[in-house]
């Protein structure tokens, strides 16, 4: 009986009539031996060079491997401790798990060497001994270093553990198994990344939904911190329609745009809405000042066609509830202003929001416009009321008030200074009229 292990090699390097094999075969059938397939990933463009060992050599080598497995695992762990600083700095619990992985890897190789033709679930055999959390504590690069160290120890022991004449067979078996371990490692970390990405997406959507529903508490801060949210000095919420397609791709596109613009973001696709919580640090000397419209424009390309509303800027994440609710109210009312800019500030939609029943917008209009004018004296309110509701010019308002046009001009300028809205501007005049009506209803 002969045991064979194969290593892929370009077909051009093999003699035309060289026999190949991948499974144990009987020596009596050597003349009629045909190539066997051990998996489609070898590829038809490659033939295999075969390294064989007799049954006695294989049995003796296997027995030596079983005896030396513990010694090799101990040597691998000792070498990691000597050569890998990250391993030395790990907590004892993590080091013990890594030691178990190394032992499982050598034990799995021994079992694979016993039956090389049998299918082996290497990722389960080797990495199943460690908890899933270890993929967070140990990076892929560190895992590669750990595997390389273990394989080096096994390779150095080949001369000692192999039966006379079976050295090459064992060496090639180690190479084949090392390749399988590499594939298994990539698979484990890919699955962990997918699971972590799915969990992070759910956690991120939960944070965004909490802000939108007004249920933000300290738990939101801890969840956001787990997602990598820093402590930006300014926070706002941008809201619009979500584009069609995979929501994960939309969220990833938002993240790329945010990184390019040096913004912190938390993103969620909630039904038909795309909600982005945007944060930014205070600018250093020489950097541009914070402009919410500029920040929103950096992300606007990822929204579906239609209005995009920017909530008011707040100081921290918990306060972003107010920004989210204002943005949501603005998005609902934006259809009342067909010519609204894109993006548009939620505060620029105060009159439409008030007409749509937004109590916060009504209160804001009264407190920021009507109340300051009322405190400034009845002359300003009377002049503004006449100018907006009865007259269409300074002269007409002056005649109705029995004052000079310059007096009307002065009073209207005072209105602008107090409220920030110019009565001569059509849009501002509309906002002022709604504020006057709401103030009178108080």
- Residue 217 is classified by DSSP as -
Closest by Cα among 277, 291, 288 to 323: 277
Distance, CA of 57 to CA of 165 (rounded, Å):
7
Q: How far, in Å, are 62, 105, 155, 334 from residue 76 at the CA level?
A: 19, 11, 11, 66
Tell me the pLDDT band of 83, cut-offs 50, 70 and 90. very high
Is residue 237 within 8 Å of residue 277, measured between CB atoms? yes
**Is pLDDT above 90 for 45?**
no
Question: Beta strand 46-54 with 2-10: parallel, antiparallel or unpaired?
Answer: antiparallel
**161 burial type by CB count under 10 A (0-12 exposed, 13-18 middle, 19+ buried):** buried
**Is pLDDT above 60 for 49?**
no
Rg (CA), the chain: 36
Distance, CA of 403 to CA of 398 (rounded, Å):
5
Distance, CA of 394 to CA of 405 (rounded, Å):
6
Mean per-residue pLDDT, 179-203? 73
- What are the pLDDT digits (tens) for 321-336? 999 999 999 999 999 9
Question: Which of 159-173, 181-195, 308-322 bottoms out in mean pLDDT, i.e. has the lowest?
Answer: 181-195
**Is pLDDT above 80 for 132?**
no
Tell me the pLDDT band of 422, cut-offs 50, 70 and 90. very high
Tell me the pLDDT band of 128, cut-offs 50, 70 and 90. low
Is residue 174 within 8 Å of residue 182, measured between CB atoms? no
pLDDT for residue 268: 87
> What domains, with CATH codes, occur in the chain?
2-29+43-190 (1.10.490), 214-354 (3.30.70.2730), 359-441 (1.10.10.2840)
Tell me the pLDDT band of 20, cut-offs 50, 70 and 90. very low
Mean per-residue pLDDT, 265-288? 81
Distance, CA of 177 to CA of 159 (rounded, Å):
18
Q: Please calculate the CA angle 439-346-278 and round it to the nearest 5 degrees.
A: 145
pLDDT for residue 43: 36
Is residue 342 within 8 Å of residue 300, measured between CB atoms? yes
DSSP string, 289-345: PP-HHHHHHTTGGGSPSS-EEEPPPBSSSTTHHHHHHHHHHHHHHGGG-TT--SSEE
Instruction: Give the HSE-up count for residue 178: Cα atoms under 13 Å, Cβ half-sphere.
Output: 19
Q: How far, in Å, are 236, 367, 386 from residue 438 at the CA level?
A: 27, 10, 16
Stated pTM of the model: 0.61
């Amino acid at each position: 009986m002969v045991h064979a292990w194969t290593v892929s090699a370009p077909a051009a390097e093999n003699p035309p009539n060289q026999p190949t094999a991948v499974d144990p075969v009987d020596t009596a059938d050597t003349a009629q031996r045909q190539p066997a397939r051990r998996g489609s990933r070898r590829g038809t463009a490659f033939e295999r060079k075969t390294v064989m060992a007799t049954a006695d050599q294989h049995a003796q080598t296997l027995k030596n491997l079983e005896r030396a497995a513990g010694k090799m695992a101990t040597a691998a762990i000792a070498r990691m401790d000597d050569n890998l600083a990250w391993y030395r700095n790990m907590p004892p619990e993590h080091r013990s798990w890594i030691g178990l992985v190394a032992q499982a890897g050598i034990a799995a190789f021994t079992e694979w060497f016993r039956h090389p033709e049998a299918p082996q679930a290497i990722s389960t055999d080797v990495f199943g001994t460690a908890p899933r959390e270890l993929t967070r504590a140990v990076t892929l690069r560190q895992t590669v270093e750990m595997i390389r160290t273990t394989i080096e120890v096994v390779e150095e022991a080949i001369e000692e553990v192999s039966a006379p004449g079976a050295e090459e067979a064992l060496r090639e078996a180690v190479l084949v198994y090392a390749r399988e371990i590499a594939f298994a490692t990539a698979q484990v970390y890919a699955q962990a990344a997918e699971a972590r990405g799915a969990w992070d997406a759910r956690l991120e959507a939960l944070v965004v939904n909490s802000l939108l529903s007004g249920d933000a508490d300290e738990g939101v801060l801890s969840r956001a911190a787990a997602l990598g949210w820093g402590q930006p000095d300014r926070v706002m919420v941008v809201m619009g329609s979500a584009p069609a397609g995979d929501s994960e791709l939309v969220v990833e596109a938002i993240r790329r745009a945010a990184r390019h613009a040096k913004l912190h973001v938390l993103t969620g696709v909630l039904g038909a809405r795309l909600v982005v919580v945007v944060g930014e640090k205070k600018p250093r000397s020489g950097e541009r000042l914070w402009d919410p419209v500029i920040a929103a424009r950096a992300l606007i390309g990822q929204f579906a066609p239609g209005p995009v509303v920017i909530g008011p800027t707040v100081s921290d994440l918990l306060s972003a509830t107010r920004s989210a609710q204002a943005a949501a109210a603005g998005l609902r009312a934006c259809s009342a202003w067909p010519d609204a800019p894109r993006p548009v500030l939620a505060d620029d939609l105060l009159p439409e929001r008030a007409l749509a029943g937004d109590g916060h917008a009504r209160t804001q209009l009264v407190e920021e416009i009507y109340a300051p004018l009322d405190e400034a004296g009845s002359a300003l309110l009377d002049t503004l009321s006449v100018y907006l509701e009865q007259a269409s010019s300074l002269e007409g308002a002056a005649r109705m008030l029995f004052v000079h046009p310059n007096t009307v001009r002065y009073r209207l300028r005072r209105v602008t200074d107090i409220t920030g809205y110019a009565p001569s501007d059509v849009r501002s005049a509309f906002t002022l009229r709604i504020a006057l009506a709401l103030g009178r209803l108080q």
